[in-house]
Amino acid sequence: MFKKILIANRGEIACRVIKTARKMGIATVAVYSDADRDAVHVEMADEAVHIGPSPAAQSYLLADKILAACKQTGAEAVHPGYGFLSERAAFCEALEKEGIVFIGPKPKAIRAMGDKIESKKFANEAKVSTVPGWLGVIENADHAERIAGEIGYPVMIKASAGGGGKGMRIAWGEAEVRDGFDRARSEAKSSFGDDRVFIEKFVVDPRHIEIQVLADAHGTALYLGERECSIQRRNQKVVEEAPSPFLDATTRKAMGEQAVALARAVGYQSAGTVEFIVDSEKNFYFLEMNTRLQVEHPVTELVTGIDLVEQMIRVAAGEKLAIKQSDVKLNGWAVESRLYAEDPYRNFLPSIGRLTRYRPPEEGTFGDVVIRNDTGVTEGSEISMFYDPMVAKLCTWAPTRLEAIDAMSEALDSFVVDGIEHNIPFLAALMQHPRWREGRLSTGFIAEEYPHGFAPIAPDAEEKAVLAAVATAMELLRRDRLDRLSGRLAPHSGILKRDWVVKIGADYLSAAVLEGMVSIPMEVDLSIDGGKPLTVASDWRPGDLIWRGTVGSNTVAAQVRPALNGLRIAWKGMSVTAQAMLPRTAELERLMPEKLPPDTSKMLLCPMPGLVVSIAVAEGQEVKAGETLAVVEAMKMENVLRAERDLTVSRLNAKPGDSLTVDAVIMEFA
């Protein structure tokens, strides 16, 4: 077994590998760029080596720097994580030349499967079911349009190299083929240094289901069940689960055996993933093979009990797999939510900044539930514009699917993140979505269910009563605390006020205190809007960021933050401002004028911090609705900003190459 390994990656996956290496008694070496000087993975490793400036192309993507770090520290092997150099056969060969072991498959398998065009040809030869498409390189937009017409719309335009949703576009017609070809090629070049793209038929209403495979150098190859990865946005996975609620045992076995056959055909050694798209009739088609550890591997680990990183290290060290196919049992259900630094209320645009608060839910086993959080940040960490916006992977396990989903819902409500915009409100809302809970999924789920973007869920009458009860209980405790502070000029009366009004949004709800003591812990009976009594119990203290307790029959874990004259309460994807007031205060509050936001309808605002790639218009130019105005790049993704209506450009305030903040004015209209 190795004595020391180097992790050629950053963030949560570097931390994940270090944890297993530490458990195995293996010393670890981290590498870091300027932006990651104070990163968590650098602190966790036994040694750390600086490898260059912040951009990945000048640090993490430079094989020579990784090799030099290995020689400097005496690392015997390299774990590449995912992304970066993880699927570069040349990097693997460079390590082998220096006598350093690559913890992953051999170069032959990486070459055969790492290139999407070649892998499709290889899969065809190996008799693996594949999607109809053009496997040659597309020369230009005219060629793309001709091929797409022959295959039949819709089609998927995909970069041959890389993954992670970069360089992928769906085209439903000729115009979208041309634009999609240009965008996919541009993104592929900037992300992977390879602008080759290909085209295949897009299966309507597909599910994205992948099989985890594990193989050693001694002829053993296994499949460890499947992962359902259909909840995607812009081809980027958001929520994954294992097993899939769609597959039956027969289909699972057929997919698993086909995945193993493909792995054997390329002499695969290590953990890898064979991705399939599955239609509504359970027909499955090979999509690609990822010759590395997947982001979503924790859900497989939770349902099988197998540490995939440990197995990768053992296989790379030449050991035989200690498990047989018959040993692999799927136990219970696991769900993973990817926490991204992005604003769900602004069409999920990237967000950067410092984590002023970062407090994940406690990890461990709690009754029948397991909570796991794979992360590479801590409170005070900086979310950089240079890398992927994923902050953490929150996972829950439970005996059944709905129990795992409910555990995830409560864990998300308990996950405190301040300082950046993040997608927890969306993830929390998703856990309550009927279609998700029923398992009726497809890769178009988010686009279909949120066609106009995500907005906070409006609470129904029962939920509004729960939120009003929480706000009232917190206000009672706040006032009681004020009464007990010494030195106040005019303390409140010691008499408990019985009648209150809670404003939630534009609604005013009456709240009556029926019985109970205002103390910590609190237990008080309230009636909201004349409804039946609700017993509110909690040990919340002023200053706590999570209000935990019960309201009637509801168990509540809600995030609470101070707001002007009230509170901001976030619960199960709902986010409301609640103000608990005395009736006379509420009367006066109703008379207050509403403050309206400024008019920005004649401006194009930068929707996220990013770099201006191109400006497509000139001053004085008339533009039609839907035409491209500018392209802004953020976190490795190009975002096309289009005209919402016919207009005339009066002034340009930015130029290509400019680095802009969120809401910076790019151009103005007449």
Active site positions, annotated: 288
Q: What tokens appear for 494 in the block?
A: 């010691």
Return the amino acid letter for 536. V
What distance in Å separates the CA atoms of residue 545 and residue 564, rounded to the nearest whole number?
Answer: 16
Whether the CB-CB separation of 67 and 397 falls below 8 Å is answered with no
What distance in Å separates the CA atoms of residue 409 and residue 239, rounded to the nearest whole number?
Answer: 12
Cβ-based neighbours of 258, under 8 Å, separated by 6 or more: 128, 129, 274, 284, 286
Whether the CB-CB separation of 413 and 572 falls below 8 Å is answered with yes
Q: Answer whether the bond into residue 389 is a cis peptide, omega within 30°.
A: no
Whether the CB-CB separation of 146 and 171 falls below 8 Å is answered with no
Return the amino acid letter for 48. A
What distance in Å separates the CA atoms of residue 507 and residue 523, rounded to the nearest whole number?
Answer: 26
Angle of CA points 537, 542, 547, to nearest 5°: 45
Q: What tokens appear for 637 in the block?
A: 């993704």
27-33 β-sheet, strand order: 47-52, 27-33, 4-7, 77-79, 101-102
Whether the CB-CB separation of 524 and 536 falls below 8 Å is answered with yes
Whether the CB-CB separation of 340 and 405 falls below 8 Å is answered with no
Element (H, E) at 213: strand 207-215
Among 223, 226, 224, 221, which Cα is nearest to 267's? 221
HEC letters along 463-490: HHHHHHHHHHHHHHHHHHHHHHCCCCCC
Cβ-based neighbours of 12, under 8 Å, separated by 6 or more: 374, 375, 376, 377, 390, 392, 393
Whether the CB-CB separation of 540 and 548 falls below 8 Å is answered with yes
Residue 224: how many other CB atoms lie within 10 Å: 26
DSSP for 386-431, please give it: TS--EEEEEEEEESSHHHHHHHHHHHHHT-EEESS--SHHHHHHHH
Whether the CB-CB separation of 105 and 290 falls below 8 Å is answered with no
* Side-chain-facing half-sphere of 130: CA atoms under 13 Å: 22
Handedness of CA 403, 405, 409, 410 (dihedral sign): positive
Describe the chain by its helix, strand, coil percentages, rounded to 5: 30, 35, 40
Return the amino acid letter for 648. T
Across 96-180, where does the E strand assignment appear?
A: 101-102, 133-134, 155-159, 168-171
Burial class from Cβ neighbours inside 10 Å (0-12, 13-18, 19+) for residue 310 reads middle
SS3 352: coil
Handedness of CA 500, 503, 509, 515 (dihedral sign): negative
Return the amino acid letter for 469. A
